[in-house]
Amino acid sequence: MCAPSSIRSCAAVFFLLTATGLPAATVSRPNVLFIAIDDLNDWVGCLGGHPQVKTPHIDALAARGTVFANAHCQAPLCNPSRASLLTGMRPSTTGIYGLAPGIREVDTTKDLVTLPQTFMRAGYFTYACGKIYHDDTMKPQHRAAEFTEWGPAPAMGRPPQRIAKLPEPQHPAMDWGPFPEFDADTADYKIASAAIEALRKAPADRPFFIACGFRLPHVPCFAPQKWFDLYPEETLVMPPMKADDRDDTPRFSWYLHWRLPEPRTATLEKLGELRPLVRAYLASTSFMDSQVGRVLAALAATGRDDNTIIVLWSDNGYHLGEKGITGKNTLWERSTRVPLVFSGPGIAHAARCGHPVELLDIFPTLLELTGMPARPDLEGHSLMPQLRDARAPRPWPAITTHNQGNHSIRDERWRYIKYADGSEELYDLQRDPNEWTNLAAVPAHAETKAYLARWQPTIDRLMAPGSASRTLTYNPVTGEVTWEGKPVGKDEPVPQF
């Protein structure tokens, strides 16, 4: 029964129930603002990944919530990472390792109830704009079941001529520099505007789940000139790099990015393009952060921010010269570590959790935060203990998989990598944060390796039918390695571009 002081609020809830037909639990649940970022590593102020980076809006969000400083993706590539997060299943469970197929095209995932579907079925208004699922992997016939409404997902524009000085022919995404002239002409500005409009128009009689997926700092790293002006080239700080860093890594480590369009470090240094790329990545990150700020300001303007869970995440990290490469597609820290921030009711303020966590944990965490039933089929673990107390213990490491049989295990101190051919790497992140010294062959660390190896996925599924781009296979019987379906010779030199 309602106390006298709360009769008015009870009446309001009764009105909503009779007007909407929704159960009381749905009407009173918090909203969710789900912010996805593409290819953002730890170059964020609150994570300290680069000393010059300026991300005031993400930092402010972290200050009023909990930032996970040791968060890692399930796959260092867009499609498998997003498919894993949105289905709650590991790539090694689904077999989705490459840029295709989509989740509704694979037997292991075609009938799974995804994260947005879960909220839609619970009575939420659901909306997506920008890049949430990987582009073109959610077919038109399946889209209506995922979100109530789909907003625009504009692609990044291109200047008339390439800005970066790279040899032709070259993948069109391999470009960076000041472009376009105005913020409003960029894809991320338009995506933020769509999310702002969705927040303004979200029904008042039920909670919302609004997903906003930004494209930057994914290549091409374009932003208006004023964002480049934040990072003068003459004072630009480059990331730490070691010329012989790959000398103690297995040859198999090269196979994960055998013939990718992202240039090698040596190539960019030779062409004078490594510093411009670093500058462009920073400028793109700061511009994207400004669009996050626009969306957060719009949420506050609705008056619903006090009852809104905000989760901000990136699908994978990015190398900018470290380990001799640019891009992702590796099992090292630069490629797996990502920003992950939660803010909202029930979440500790200005908290920082150093335990290893996974993007896979977002799904069960949002269920618990919004009072929905737990899903025993999900492979992640709720972060609610850490959202209440960032020091709360957590027994699981973070596991990243890239193509079948290649796994990284990351706990608070160590990273262990086991490749499909049996080769290994081991890094002590406390003493060697740049992962410059592979300790896998040191007998004194055999026990550490054995402990970490026990966390490798017990399911290690073959590549899903329809996989092609960015995929690697290894035949343990013959030792044959294929990259995108073409054999790689054991003596074939590493591609140099």
Other beta carbons within 10 Å of 432: 13
Phi-psi region of 2 (alpha: psi -120 to 50; beta: other; left: phi over 0): beta
CA distances from 454 to 25, 97, 399 (A): 41, 22, 11
Contact between residue 316 and residue 84 where contact means Cβ atoms under 8 Å apart? no
Please give the structure tokens belonging to residue 391.
């020091």
Angle between helices 78-87 and 362-369 (to 10 degrees): 30
Burial class of residue 250 (count of CB atoms within 10 Å of its CB; 0-12, 13-18, 19+): middle
Annotated active-site residue in 78, 129, 212, 221:
78
The two tokens of residue 108 are 């292991």
Cα three-residue angle 168-241-249, rounded to 5 degrees: 90
Could you count the other beta carbons within 10 Å of the beta carbon of residue 383? Answer: 29
Distance CA 325, CA 319 (A): 6
Q: How many Å apart are CA 417 and CA 415, to the nearest integer?
A: 7
134 is catalytic: yes
User: Phi and psi at residue 187, in whole multiples of 5°?
Assistant: -65, -45
Which among 314, 400, 380 has a CA at the least distance from the CA of 68? 314
Q: Distance between CA atoms of 494 and 255, rounded to whole angstroms?
A: 9
**Catalytic choice (50, 72, 134, 355):** 134
Is residue 129 annotated as a catalytic residue, yes or no?
no
Please identify every residue annotated as catalytic. Answer: 78, 134
